[in-house]
Structure 1
Amino acid sequence: MNKLETRAAFSLAGIFSLRMLGLFMIYPVFTFYAQHLTGSTPTTVGLALGAYGLTQALLQIPFGFASDRIGRKRMIAIGLVLFAIGSVVAALSNSIYGVILGRILQGAGAVGSTILALNADLTREESRTKAMATIGMTIGLAFALALVLGPVLNAWVGVPGIFWFTALLALAGIGVLYGVTPRPPATRSHRDTEAVPELFGRVLRNTELLRLDFAIFALHAILTASFIALPHMLRDVLGIHQNYQWIIYLPVLALSVGIMIPAIIVAEAKRRMKSVFVAAVAVLLATPTVLAIYRGSLAEIVIVMVLFFAAFNIMEASLPSLISKVAPADAKGTAMGVYSSSQFFGIFIGGTIGGWAYGFGGTSGVFTFCAVVAAIWLVIAATMPQPRFARTHMLHVGDIDDATAGRLAAEIEAVEGVFEAVVVPADGVAYIKFDGKVVDTERFERFASGTASASS
């Protein structure tokens, strides 16, 4: 990446991470605080935890469409202001319903897809993967940091203080947006990062993409529900006060990453993606099942938690890669939009049903719900085909007509190792899906003029 792209990637990663940090900091401590609010029941507590996922799921694609018309930065700023307002509403509320409203407003600031679109405006195609990886890596770090910071800040300022801090993080994000993030020379549509309305039907009819959409839905439903029960288990079974549970989360997350890295290497480099994928889902079934029926020692519960978070991290890292491999060459952005909405809907369902399950059966009820979701997921995962190990490359082909685009796509697809080629004349871009071990991207440069080789 050049200097402008590096600045863009890290500033946008910072905005994304500041927002995610604020969302996840309450996970380890919220249920203890919320049970003392007016109108609190297990179901409403769970709803408050997951409510932001509903508005995120419903609004993030419309936010992206709106940013095409009125500007990326303006929509991101609007989203961050909504997020800050929601945080303030939650901080000032004495009833669970006020917190639910605040969380709904937080989710209404659905800027994730717009941030990725701005990243695409500011990066060249050949640098975009690195920029996206930078954003993804910082989101993972923000999640880990949030689980540690949440209990620490709770001891200092309580959950209302965490909501106030979250509002400040949103305002800091606006400062980064206008003070650090470069201004794009132009706002363009990017099929690799943005949803395209006419491609929704094609994406929603793709059964392999639907499997992956269910996977991210299930993963975040399980995660959100788990944080209704796990903090109570650490306190009530092991006697660890909520303000000190970060002492458990820190080594657990560190060890889980140590398991994740070699697993991802095996999945990608050794082309064992399905085996690793199914094994991780099996672990996500086994760990809540154990926690639902067994109360062990600290060491035993920590081992179960390490395995759970290792499987979670493997899924979180591999699912976007699988979407890229499976999605049609020109519909990656649309597939990612549906995938992200499925993720946030999973958060909403996980919080709501997880809260109900806690009221029905305590921590065992919650972990049983998680196990049921994972069992359904395991059946779906076990029947998935081995994914193609495909990469996607975008090639500028200039101003061409439909007939030339068709001939060019056919010539590119004739290259050994190419799975699919789609040329979009309106964009002047060819989207190529290929096997990186068979063909190198340099082989495609001869098509950059927009004329097929047979006629050149």
Structure 2
Amino acid sequence: MQQLNSLEKRAAVALALVFSSRMLGLFMLLPVFALYGSELAGFSPLWIGLAIGAYGLTQAILQIPLGWLSDRIGRHKVMLGGLMLFAAGSVVAALADSVYMVTFGRVLQGGGAIAGAVLALAADLTREEQRPKVMAIIGVSIGLSFAVAMIIGPLVARMAGLSGVFWFTAILALVAMALVWFVVPVSVQKAPMAETLALPQSLKAMLKHRQLVQLDIGVMLLHLMLTAIFVALPQLLTNTGLDSIKHWQFYLPILAGSFVLMVPMLIVAMRKSQEKGFFLFAIGLLVSAMLTVLLLANFVGLIIGMLLFFIGFNFLEASLPALVSRIAPAGQRGSAMGIYSSGQFFGAFLGGVIGGAVVQQFGNQALFMVLAVIGLLWLLVASTLIIPERAQRLSLAVAVETELAAQQLAAQLSALTGVQEVTLLLAEQRCYLKVSSAQFDTAQAEAIIAAAEA
């Protein structure tokens, strides 16, 4: 929080609370639905997976459109509307007496796809040099909400049943709405749009960018594996004799231990410039986790396997968005992150469907074999990933009137020492640069822009 001003601190804390309260309600379902959903009409492993993953489908579809809408009608309106829809879906699921209505409620919950609006507002309210800190605070809050959900989800379900989990989720949505209404600052200016939101004209280019597509596929597979695991894991824990209310005793040390072991990996990868090696190692941990659960087939196997899985998962969850941000062309980070987020949620949907179908047809153990194969395929694809050197991103206001003038200015800026990429958008009257911070002189760029505007 050092060097953040009072507005940035308020924005970071408030938006992190909004994000985490919403995600807490979602994550709470993972450790309990496979156990407590058996009381619902139409219950089956396939419908467990569909209900868990349905949220991800509507999230994947609506992330980018609602991000665009927030730029048209305002971030707060989109956030409040999304949270209202999320609360409505929670109420539908809480009142449901069949797995089909629960799934419908989950679809409604997913319609509140406000991640793009939240992150765009965070960008609006922060200075460019402080923006990564605020984004990191929001990211950490999501990880903490996952850990807390693994603990309180089973406790709430034991006391109030599955409907109690959804009522708790609805209450959290209302709390988040109150935060947006009373605490979250109102944006008085907008951050450069192309760096924070997906632009229609950029999406096609992003889908053709080989390195970005590899990362989009990666996050899709990562969340596919996470969601699929929770179709089977709660029942496997119960089969070992661990009562459902004590499942937190399994999740808490696993998550805490994985975080402690993951942090040194991140530090060494960054300081030693060994990101790719650790990236591949983390995927290998996912594969090893699946094989451990499959081969040992006992409680010890679950402990070792899930510890390995969450070490790899936490490392990749932190590394993937950072790599997307680094690889994305100048001025197109918003589009790159929009597609990345959609891939993330679509993976959650696929994980629920595939997990449910495999468990229903072939049993729990077969699921871990399928996930091991998926992990191996991802490892093969990721082995060709090229990670570029670190670069600083800058956005500078310009005043050019014609396409020719824009091209000439871009060419002059490209010739400067340390400039890796230049993107100049006439519609925004803004120039986006990717530069080597050690070699680039901002004053030279500003002088060239001033001369062009004279």
Q: TM-score, normalised by structure 1?
A: 0.94
Q: 2:252 aligns with which of 250, 253, 261?
A: 250
Report whether the alignment pairs 1:363 with 2:361.
no
Q: Residues 318-329 of structure 1 correspond to what in structure 2 (within 5 A)?
A: 318-329=319-330
The answer as to whether partners of 2:410 and 2:423 remain within 8 angstroms in 1 is yes
| Partner AA of 1:315 in structure 2 | L
| Partner AA of 1:295 in structure 2 | A
> Which residue is 1:74 aligned to?
77
Deviations 1:209-247 (A, max 9, x none): 1100100000000000001111122221x3111111111
Counterparts of 2:312 and 2:391, CA distance in 1: 24
Counterparts of 2:444 and 2:11, CA distance in 1: 30
Report whether the alignment pairs 1:151 with 2:120.
no
User: How far is 1:303 from its partner?
Assistant: 2.3
The answer as to whether partners of 1:151 and 1:243 remain within 8 angstroms in 2 is yes
| Partner AA of 2:132 in structure 1 | T
> Which residue is 1:280 aligned to?
282
Counterparts of 1:207 and 1:329, CA distance in 2: 16
| Partner AA of 2:390 in structure 1 | A
CA shift in 2, pair 1:136/1:186, >3 Å: same
> Which residue is 1:444 aligned to?
442
Counterparts of 2:182 and 2:375, CA distance in 1: 44
Counterparts of 1:412 and 1:262, CA distance in 2: 39
Report whether the alignment pairs 1:208 with 2:211.
yes
> Which residue is 2:400 aligned to?
400
Counterparts of 1:373 and 1:319, CA distance in 2: 18
Q: Which moved more, 1:186-195 or 1:110-119?
A: 186-195
> Which residue is 1:390 aligned to?
390
> Which residue is 1:349 aligned to?
350
Counterparts of 1:359 and 1:221, CA distance in 2: 17
> Which residue is 1:220 aligned to?
223
Counterparts of 1:445 and 1:115, CA distance in 2: 33
Counterparts of 1:286 and 1:71, CA distance in 2: 46
> Which residue is 1:307 aligned to?
308
Report whether the alignment pairs 1:20 with 2:23.
yes
CA shift in 2, pair 1:445/1:140, >3 Å: farther
| Partner AA of 1:400 in structure 2 | V
| Partner AA of 1:388 in structure 2 | P
> Which residue is 2:241 aligned to?
239
Counterparts of 2:10 and 2:448, CA distance in 1: 32
User: Any idea what SS the aligned residue of 2:196 has?
Assistant: coil
| Partner AA of 2:277 in structure 1 | S
Deviations 1:110-138 (A, max 9, x none): 11111111112222222222211111111
The answer as to whether partners of 1:20 and 1:143 remain within 8 angstroms in 2 is yes
Counterparts of 1:415 and 1:53, CA distance in 2: 44
| 5+ long unaligned stretches in structure 1 | none
Q: Which moved more, 1:420-429 or 1:339-348?
A: 420-429
| Partner AA of 2:108 in structure 1 | L
| Partner AA of 1:406 in structure 2 | Q
CA shift in 2, pair 1:416/1:446, >3 Å: closer
| 5+ long unaligned stretches in structure 2 | none
| Partner AA of 2:273 in structure 1 | R
User: How far is 1:88 from its partner?
Assistant: 0.6
Q: Residues 126-205 of structure 1 correspond to what in structure 2 (within 5 A)?
A: 126-187=129-190, 190-205=193-208
Q: Which moved more, 1:163-172 or 1:361-370?
A: 361-370
Q: Which moved more, 1:118-127 or 1:257-266?
A: 118-127
Q: 2:122 aligns with which of 99, 112, 119?
A: 119
> Which residue is 2:296 aligned to?
294
The answer as to whether partners of 1:413 and 1:419 remain within 8 angstroms in 2 is yes
Report whether the alignment pairs 1:100 with 2:103.
yes
User: Any idea what SS the aligned residue of 2:197 has?
Assistant: coil
Across the two proteins, how many residue pairs are aligned to each other? 450
Q: Which moved more, 1:346-355 or 1:445-454?
A: 445-454
Counterparts of 2:265 and 2:149, CA distance in 1: 24
> Which residue is 2:62 aligned to?
59
The answer as to whether partners of 1:86 and 1:102 remain within 8 angstroms in 2 is yes
> Which residue is 1:33 aligned to?
36
Report whether the alignment pairs 1:3 with 2:1.
no
| Partner AA of 1:307 in structure 2 | L
Counterparts of 1:451 and 1:26, CA distance in 2: 53
| Partner AA of 2:367 in structure 1 | V
Q: Which moved more, 1:261-270 or 1:274-283?
A: 261-270
The answer as to whether partners of 1:5 and 1:122 remain within 8 angstroms in 2 is yes
User: Any idea what SS the aligned residue of 1:126 has?
Assistant: coil
CA shift in 2, pair 1:455/1:182, >3 Å: closer
Q: TM-score, normalised by structure 2?
A: 0.95
Counterparts of 2:191 and 2:290, CA distance in 1: 45
User: How far is 1:412 from its partner?
Assistant: 3.2
| Partner AA of 1:91 in structure 2 | A
User: How far is 1:406 from its partner?
Assistant: 3.0
| Partner AA of 2:53 in structure 1 | G
> Which residue is 1:83 aligned to?
86
Counterparts of 1:404 and 1:133, CA distance in 2: 38
Deviations 1:371-425 (A, max 9, x none): 122121111011222x012334223233233444334433333333332122223
Deviations 1:12-36 (A, max 9, x none): 1111111100000110111011122
The answer as to whether partners of 1:404 and 1:451 remain within 8 angstroms in 2 is no
The answer as to whether partners of 2:57 and 2:345 remain within 8 angstroms in 1 is yes
The answer as to whether partners of 1:288 and 1:368 remain within 8 angstroms in 2 is yes
Q: Which moved more, 1:67-76 or 1:219-228?
A: 67-76
User: Any idea what SS the aligned residue of 2:395 has?
Assistant: strand
| Partner AA of 1:364 in structure 2 | Q
The answer as to whether partners of 2:393 and 2:434 remain within 8 angstroms in 1 is yes
User: Any idea what SS the aligned residue of 1:134 has?
Assistant: helix
Counterparts of 2:191 and 2:43, CA distance in 1: 46
User: How far is 1:455 from its partner?
Assistant: 11
Counterparts of 2:220 and 2:379, CA distance in 1: 13
Counterparts of 2:225 and 2:55, CA distance in 1: 16
User: How far is 1:59 from its partner?
Assistant: 0.8
The answer as to whether partners of 2:288 and 2:308 remain within 8 angstroms in 1 is no
User: How far is 1:268 from its partner?
Assistant: 1.7
Of all paired residues, the percent bearing the same amino acid is 43
User: How far is 1:290 from its partner?
Assistant: 2.1
Counterparts of 2:234 and 2:8, CA distance in 1: 41
RMSD of equivalent CA atoms: 1.9
